[in-house]
A and B are shown apart, each in its own frame.
Chain A
Amino acid sequence: MSPRFPWPTFAEQWDCKVSDLLFDGHDAALAVSPDHLAIDGHAVDWTEVQLTLSASTHEPIPEGLADLSAYALVTCGATQLRLAYPMTYNSDQTSFEATVTIHRSALAGKATVAAQITSDRGGRRRVVGSSIAWTLILDKREAPERMGAAPLKTTWVDFAAGEAPQEARRNPSTYCYIDINQDPPTLLLNSGIDGFQSLILADNAKLERHRHRDLLGAMIAKQVANSLVRAAVDEIDPGEFGAPPTGPTSRILRDICEALAQELPETETAEDLYELVANFHGNGVAANQFWADVDLALDRMTSLAETVTKVCKEVKHV
């Protein structure tokens, strides 16, 4: 996104820093993660958070702008909160600062905090720039994943065994099942299939085992993605009274929507996808077209199409 305004604006985002973080008056500097632009607000119980936000830029003030001012904007999608806090120039006139105090009861999931820069233009106060945004995370599931963490849990279980879920026991010969109702969703793999486990876990498989492993891995990945998309679409709310559609609340489902939106021809963002889905409710043709597009996109995204092509080529003369 590169929004344009009919008045002069800053071309680049302003830098933004968070300091002096207090939960219920207690210092919580360790909860600030500059690398992730995130504030960890889920690790401790609190009723009020206080932080200092400062915004600055090295970009010269665009021509035609004068008398800059700023406010800190706190937004929370889950509670439809938009709160503005006036910012003031600091003593050396190089940055705007504000101390923000927010009650825990006004927030859910996550909230964003950013500075908005304004200026008088034609007798009206206009937004002429904004800063990078920080995220205040209140729900652990919203926290950034550590590198290398799997997006969902994996469990090996004999689908014919008593401890297997009922759905798995109903199909004891199937190789995988995704339990979307678990938190996080769980991929169950059938350890009862002789050789399946050793094949899937063979990181250094060679030749035919390599091909079978890759093919099975891509097939299972597609099945996982398919299950996640179905669950995400089920959670899309078309919105009422002119409100925009809303998507799923769980992170992994939002992630699959964002990834899928990048692949579908008519969507760029998860919000585009929610709107597309909201619009085809009751339109069978559009729905069918959507699901056909989803199937093809997931083939691509999970490398299934590529793996099939590769394997076919390799075994052409076997």
Chain B
Amino acid sequence: MEPTWAWEKQSRSYANYGNANQWTVNAGLSSLARESAQNSNDARLPGPRADLVYSFIMLSGDARMRFEEAVRWNTELKPHLSAMAKAAAGAVTAGQLQSGLAAIEGAESLALLRIADYGAKGLTGPEFAEGDPSVYGNFIKLCRLELFSGKDKTSGGSFGLGKAVYWRFSRLQTVLFNSTIRPEDEVEGKWRNRVIGVNQGVVHQLDGSNFQGRGFFGLAETDGHIASVWNDVGLVDSLQLKREDERPGTSALLVGFHDPDEPEKGLTDIGELRSFAKTLEAALEEEFWPLLTRERLRVRVEVIDGDRVVYERTVDPEEQYTELARALRKFDAGHIDNALVEVGDIVARDIPIEISARTDADEPHPAFRHTAKLVVTLSDDQHDSLENKVCLFRQPEMIVQTIDKEFEGRTYHAFLLAGAAIRPDSPSADEERADDFLRFAEPPAHDQWIPGSGRTKTSQANLTAHYRAPWIPNLRNIRQSVLDSLSDLFGAPTISEDKPPKSIFRNLGFLRGDTGSGPSTPPIPKPEIRIHNARVADGAWHVDFEVRAKNRPEGWAVTPKLAFLGLDGGRTDVEWSMVDADSDTELLNGAIILPAKARGRVLTATVHAVSTTELPIPPGESAIDVRVARADIAPISTKHEEVNQ
């Protein structure tokens, strides 16, 4: 029997124009990385390391034709999608389909993204959601149900929304799956290559019949419902869903892959797919560096042009987030330092988190205090996007959010291990409970524990169902405790009596032993006197000198004094009998007035002065100097006149 697409007849009493869940997932490859890697991580089996492979595939020509034939493009899928696109005016999803169809039809190539995990549970369980929900396997949860998580303790998701990311990044809202499960999980004796396709379109009318939005690709049962195709190797190959090895896990193929933020890219240019691959790598490193560092999941990204691999790289966070990767390894090895002295040292601090009492009937527990671990290390010279941030994570080892805090003069990397992330191999019961509390505190995007306020406030509806309020103060205190610990580490620099505070001593530079850069504006030097000529005549000293002063708004009033100098360095002031200055210099009570000038750096006046003849010793026996006896501001009237000129 050949696989086929089928959409159920539309109900008379209910219609759905698209799956709202996918709009809870942000666009951008960072979002794709977070949600898809979290899905695979949650499905990861205990034991040897698991692998996750992202394959960007570009199909052209015959390769594209073979794929389209296998997926029944022309005969089944495209007609239904075209019918759905007719509702574009009234439904967002239909609009997406309309533009997606146009883009794919207009392009020579078809882009696919295959996300395949190995060493994971795979799509287990029965085909249809019938009977007791507790026996539903991953197959039903992924393909048949919405908003059902049913995940274990300490898993990444809790809303059942993460899977929506696959359809969000398909232009055609169409995703094909192939899964291999463990032999012990066999379904009616089958366990290899379980293939199904799911289209999450909108209600539509085709050939006079009305259909539901959700369509499935697989084998039609006698009642018309579509079930999985098992172990059809040819089909798997044609659909680009071939798995690399026998390990259990799931391959998801996003048909007509695009980044909703950049829908114009990835249509024909293989270089753009390579660019997508690199962006995805960077996002995986940033969001999952703890998981990758602990090597519980190995992630590879590749770009395939037809059947040729043109780019391939294993994601390694140590290249970009070296300090964080090394610090986590040191923490896990128990190599904690006492202080942060040099790059590579790590310190750990306890961060208390109050866990609210759980009220679930089957898993109740009283309130208790959980001790999370804050690990801090100094940054090297290579800048990255996670410096001066504290990465918060729990058991899934995905960064939920960061607490950003800068300290002057210190660059650091830090992370907070909470819940089962502290000892992931053997968490205590309380650590698992703390992990669950934090899991339920996360909004659907799993990007927050600490509630914001105002416009950034998110609902903790999930906590409401499981825990006794209040919990908001408990969660907000995480941030405060982290900041307090960081302040203890970086807030007060090391105190050294050998290094007096610059902020004080830079202002005492006039004392000897200047320690700082000094005040930004040096003091204005006092006026100086330059003697041009000094002689003795008629029993008196006749001195010609110049008064020079820095031009300043206040101007100067300079009083020169004649001083007789003694051999011991002492001096005796002597009165002038006459002081005369240039014609444009004013004299006021013995002071030379130097008004401010609008321009120029220096104010000058040339003075001729004669001493009195009543001298302490004969002038022919004395050494003299002319000193500035007083340097004051110029009288205000003079200054104003001069400046206003």
Residues of A within 8 A of B (CB): 1-6, 75, 82, 127, 144-156, 187, 189, 197-198, 200-206, 209, 213-214, 216-218, 220-222, 224-225, 228, 244, 251-252, 255-256, 259, 262-263, 265-266, 268, 300-304, 306
- Kindly list chain A residues whose C-beta atoms are within 8 Å of the C-beta of B501: 154, 189, 200-201, 217
A85 CB to nearest B CB, Å: 16
- Kindly list chain A residues whose C-beta atoms are within 8 Å of the C-beta of B599: none
Docked CA distance A304–B495 (Å):
25
B residues 618-640 touching A (CB-CB < 8 Å): 619-625, 627-632
Q: Are A156 and B495 within 8 A (Cβ)?
A: yes
Q: Are B623 and A3 within 8 A (Cβ)?
A: yes
Q: Are B515 and A149 within 8 A (Cβ)?
A: yes
Q: Are A263 and B511 within 8 A (Cβ)?
A: no
- Kindly list chain B residues whose C-beta atoms are within 8 Å of the C-beta of A262: 523, 526
Pick from A189, A203, A306: contact of B408, CB under 8 Å: A203
Question: Quick one: given A198-B492, A200-B501, A200-B503, are A4 and B511 in contact (CB under 8 Å)?
Answer: no
B521 CB to nearest A CB, Å: 6
B309 interface contact, C-beta 8 A: no
A156 CB to nearest B CB, Å: 6
Residues of B within 8 A of A (CB): 408-409, 491-493, 495, 497, 500-508, 510-515, 519-521, 523, 526, 530-531, 534-536, 543, 565, 567-568, 570, 619-625, 627-632
- The closest CB in chain A to the CB of B571 belongs to A271
Q: What are 20 A-B pairs at a CB distance below 8 A?
A: A1-B625, A6-B535, A148-B514, A149-B515, A151-B511, A155-B497, A198-B492, A200-B501, A200-B504, A201-B503, A203-B503, A206-B408, A209-B408, A255-B510, A265-B631, A302-B519, A303-B506, A303-B520, A303-B521, A306-B520
Docked CA distance A125–B344 (Å):
77
Question: Quick one: given A153-B497, A155-B497, A262-B526, are A255 and B515 in contact (CB under 8 Å)?
Answer: no
- The closest CB in chain A to the CB of B495 belongs to A156
Q: Are A216 and B568 within 8 A (Cβ)?
A: no
- Kindly list chain A residues whose C-beta atoms are within 8 Å of the C-beta of B503: 200-203, 213-214, 216-217
A2 CB to nearest B CB, Å: 6
Of A6, A147, A155, A214, most buried by chain B (CB within 10 Å of CB) is A6
A289 CB to nearest B CB, Å: 12
- Kindly list chain A residues whose C-beta atoms are within 8 Å of the C-beta of B512: 144-145, 151, 251-252, 255
Q: Are B508 and A4 within 8 A (Cβ)?
A: no
A-B contact count (CB 8 A): 142
B633 CB to nearest A CB, Å: 8
Docked CA distance A1–B561 (Å):
12
Apart from A5-B624, A150-B505: 17 A-B pairs, beta carbons within 8 A: A3-B565, A6-B622, A145-B513, A147-B513, A151-B508, A151-B512, A153-B497, A155-B497, A187-B500, A197-B492, A202-B493, A203-B409, A203-B503, A205-B408, A251-B512, A263-B523, A265-B630
Docked CA distance A235–B493 (Å):
38
- Kindly list chain A residues whose C-beta atoms are within 8 Å of the C-beta of B491: 198
- Kindly list chain A residues whose C-beta atoms are within 8 Å of the C-beta of B526: 262, 268
Docked CA distance A224–B505 (Å):
10
Docked CA distance A147–B621 (Å):
43
Docked CA distance A54–B613 (Å):
40
Q: Are B623 and A4 within 8 A (Cβ)?
A: yes
- The closest CB in chain A to the CB of B627 belongs to A268
Question: Quick one: given A153-B497, A300-B523, A306-B521, are A221 and B505 in contact (CB under 8 Å)?
Answer: yes
Docked CA distance A275–B502 (Å):
34
Q: Are B531 and A221 within 8 A (Cβ)?
A: no
Q: Are A187 and B493 within 8 A (Cβ)?
A: no
- Kindly list chain A residues whose C-beta atoms are within 8 Å of the C-beta of B409: 202-204
Q: Are A256 and B511 within 8 A (Cβ)?
A: yes
- The closest CB in chain B to the CB of A266 belongs to B630
Of B500, B506, B565, B620, most buried by chain A (CB within 10 Å of CB) is B500
Question: Quick one: given A151-B508, A154-B501, are A2 and B530 in contact (CB under 8 Å)?
Answer: yes
Pick from A153, A213, A255: contact of B511, CB under 8 Å: A255
- The closest CB in chain A to the CB of B505 belongs to A150
Docked CA distance A240–B61 (Å):
114
- Kindly list chain B residues whose C-beta atoms are within 8 Å of the C-beta of A149: 513, 515
- The closest CB in chain A to the CB of B535 belongs to A6
- Kindly list chain A residues whose C-beta atoms are within 8 Å of the C-beta of B493: 198, 201-203
A224 CB to nearest B CB, Å: 6
A261 CB to nearest B CB, Å: 10
Pick from B504, B513, B628: contact of A148, CB under 8 Å: B513
Docked CA distance A147–B515 (Å):
8
Docked CA distance A272–B476 (Å):
65
Docked CA distance A267–B119 (Å):
89
Docked CA distance A133–B520 (Å):
33
B224 CB to nearest A CB, Å: 69
A214 CB to nearest B CB, Å: 7
- Kindly list chain B residues whose C-beta atoms are within 8 Å of the C-beta of A255: 510-512
Docked CA distance A61–B630 (Å):
36
Of B504, B624, B625, B632, most buried by chain A (CB within 10 Å of CB) is B504
Q: Are B504 and A265 within 8 A (Cβ)?
A: no
- The closest CB in chain B to the CB of A145 belongs to B513
B541 CB to nearest A CB, Å: 8
Docked CA distance A4–B565 (Å):
9
- Kindly list chain B residues whose C-beta atoms are within 8 Å of the C-beta of A82: 568
- The closest CB in chain A to the CB of B525 belongs to A262
Docked CA distance A43–B508 (Å):
28
Docked CA distance A154–B496 (Å):
9
Pick from A4, A216, A306: contact of B625, CB under 8 Å: A4
Docked CA distance A198–B408 (Å):
10
A146 CB to nearest B CB, Å: 8
A83 CB to nearest B CB, Å: 13
- The closest CB in chain B to the CB of A251 belongs to B512
